[in-house]
Structure 1
Amino acid sequence: MQVIPADWPLRDHSHVIRCRPHEWHVQVMGQGPDLLLLHGAGASGHSFHRLAPLLPGYRLIMPDLPGQGFTRAGGMLRLGLDAMADDLATLCRDQDWRPAGIIGHSAGGAIALRMTEVLPNPPRAVIGLNAALGPFDGFAGWLFPKLAKAMSASPFVAAIVTRLVSNRNQVEMLLKGTGSTLDAQGVALYQRLVSDKRHIEGTLGMMAQWQLEPLIERLPQIMVPSLLIASEKDRAVPARVSRDAAARMPRARYVEIADYGHLLHEEAPDRVCDLILQFLDENSGGLSLVAGPV
């Protein structure tokens, strides 16, 4: 079992749940209808630790995705989009969680939309934060999946990548490469993640198995009300990706926020919070929300 550090954000809300095929690390806080929050590739549930306290009236469920953060993958072949969505749906059934809404950042946004297709009771709303709903362009679209597959196939590559990127200066450069600037604590948390060889293995495995095209083709069939929030300065997933995806979805709304990068919800959680709460309220389906802080 993975040991959750005592100083990890929201550590008091951490739970380790064994639900095949994975051993999950999930943070649960608050009261009210269930709200599932899914992080992006290379991150963990910690990425919501500044946003979560701003979302009253919901039970917030923040898992680390399989192989990343402190969730141990039960099988390295279960790290693709469809497999992760299926395993998260199984976890929800096992714990009797019934998400009224799903919030997904980056790759978590794609997983959120896929979950609307596999959950027995789809959520009333999906919110994507710089959602990764488009393939890489041109040569990168051909190269990156092949590179990730080659890297994940070697047991030595993760250790090499960890040594290369776990230096603090390298982590700062990687984060700034997304268009985001985090404070010292934010950089330190990502540095701790990328210093863990298992986390790198899980991230590489996810990249190697990522097949987004079938979901993109089905976007016009997704009828769950969706809000796609994009950042003007996002260098990882350009705002046009969310704008184009929203245009293809019958019940999607697009909002663009200036001045921030890919990690918008960590840089400006208050800006994101206002949009989220308004959209959830509009699509609450008459649910009675609990007032007061989380």
Structure 2
Amino acid sequence: MDFAQMPPDWPHRDRARRIASRPHDWCVIDAGAGPVLLLLHGAGGSGHSFRTLIPLLTPHYRVIVPDLPGQGFTRSGARSRYGIDPMAEDLAELCRTLDIAPAAVIGHSAGGALALRLAEILPLRAIVGLNAALGAFDGAAGVLFPLLAKVLSVTPFIPHVVARLWGNAATVQRLLVTTGSPLAEDGVAQYIALVKDPAHVDATLGMMAQWRLEEVMPRLMTLPLPVLLIASTGDRAVPARISREAAAQLPDGSYAEIPARGHLMHEEAAEDVAALLLPWLAAELSGTA
């Protein structure tokens, strides 16, 4: 969807603005004051997924929340740049355009891996991953799913078919249940709006097809900066063990757990997430201007 198509009741619409930063036209929520936090959503979502967490962060920080290229209300300028490397490069360019130096990045799901990759480009002080997707698919899915996404992403009519067939309440509800995170009616409606948009579906499939996490994770797991990985035991998409094992491997990794919540725990229980990450960020970023 184009920025001009944003519904009047879209979360934090009053703080969203269009930013032209090559090669994309970004939609960015900019709220609060203080040290800058960059919030990165996962594949298939948008910055709206942080809607309940943002008000808990803005009393202490300035939060910058972009929709990733082609997803949500960011208009993609290059379909070839949906992989983790070019996406990190384009996010770094967005930060330069905004003239900001993020102190920390909070990434959900694939946004967690993207945050680690961004740390190789920007001088970050800390990273928080929320149910971070840091592992490969298990078994046959590790081969079949990326191949399927690649085929679908280069088939022109597929995004329109997916948007038409999946962009309804019943299907979106089922998709959300498979993540372990049933949402309230307004949250479901926001995801329906995203799934109905062929451009959003196309960018999500493109991201899945171009993501090459296995090529960068061994290197990213050696990053020396502090990393807090928060996982939820009810996540059916990314098991909590992924974060637990990654935190143990990182040079300065920490792990925290929230019981029962699903993959979208930051939407279900933002207060619980904030209760874990705010004290940790305060300790790691003390002295940051």
Shorter-chain TM-score bucket reads: over 0.9
- For residues 176 and 94 of structure 1, the distance between their equivalents in structure 2, rounded to whole angstroms, comes to 38
Counterpart of 1:54 in structure 2 is: 56
- For residues 285 and 83 of structure 1, the distance between their equivalents in structure 2, rounded to whole angstroms, comes to 31
Among 90, 95, 98, the alignment partner of 1:92 is 95
Do the aligned residues in 2 keep the contact of 1:146 with 1:208 (CA within 8 Å)? yes
Among 58, 71, 74, the alignment partner of 2:77 is 74
Instruction: Report percent identity of matched pairs.
Output: 57
- For residues 33 and 74 of structure 2, the distance between their equivalents in structure 1, rounded to whole angstroms, comes to 24
Aligned residue identity for 2:49? S
- The C-alpha deviation readout for 1:128-162, integer Å capped at 9, x for no partner, is 00000001011000011100010011110001111
Aligned residue identity for 2:136? P
- For residues 285 and 192 of structure 1, the distance between their equivalents in structure 2, rounded to whole angstroms, comes to 39
Aligned residue identity for 2:42? G
Residue 210 (structure 1) shift: 0.4
Counterpart of 2:35 in structure 1 is: 33
Which residues of 2 match residues 33-182 of structure 1 at below 5 A? Answer: 33-55=35-57, 56-119=59-122, 122-182=123-183
Residue 214 (structure 1) shift: 2.3
- For residues 107 and 62 of structure 2, the distance between their equivalents in structure 1, rounded to whole angstroms, comes to 16
Counterpart of 1:14 in structure 2 is: 16
Aligned residue identity for 2:106? I
Counterpart of 2:269 in structure 1 is: 268
Aligned residue identity for 2:79? M
- The C-alpha deviation readout for 1:85-142, integer Å capped at 9, x for no partner, is 00000110111111011000000000000000011xx211100000000010110000
Q: TM-score, normalised by structure 2?
A: 0.97
Aligned residue identity for 1:115? L
- For residues 220 and 242 of structure 1, the distance between their equivalents in structure 2, rounded to whole angstroms, comes to 12
Residue 215 (structure 1) shift: 2.4
- For residues 211 and 181 of structure 2, the distance between their equivalents in structure 1, rounded to whole angstroms, comes to 24
Residue 286 (structure 1) shift: 1.1
Residue 173 (structure 1) shift: 0.4
- For residues 253 and 42 of structure 1, the distance between their equivalents in structure 2, rounded to whole angstroms, comes to 27
- For residues 221 and 149 of structure 2, the distance between their equivalents in structure 1, rounded to whole angstroms, comes to 29
Q: Taking CA–CA contacts closer than 8 Å with sequence separation of 6 or more, which of the two structures ends up with the larger relative contact order?
A: 1
- For residues 149 and 140 of structure 1, the distance between their equivalents in structure 2, rounded to whole angstroms, comes to 13
SS state of the match for residue 202, structure 2? helix
Aligned residue identity for 2:166? V
- For residues 215 and 252 of structure 2, the distance between their equivalents in structure 1, rounded to whole angstroms, comes to 19
Q: TM-score, normalised by structure 1?
A: 0.96
Do the aligned residues in 1 keep the contact of 2:117 with 2:220 (CA within 8 Å)? no
Residue 220 (structure 1) shift: 3.6
Do the aligned residues in 1 keep the contact of 2:221 with 2:246 (CA within 8 Å)? no
Counterpart of 1:292 in structure 2 is: none
- For residues 19 and 100 of structure 2, the distance between their equivalents in structure 1, rounded to whole angstroms, comes to 13
RMSD: 0.9
Runs of at least 4 residues of structure 1 off by over 3 A?
none
Do the aligned residues in 2 keep the contact of 1:219 with 1:248 (CA within 8 Å)? no
1:233 aligns with 2:234: yes
SS state of the match for residue 79, structure 1? coil
SS state of the match for residue 103, structure 2? strand
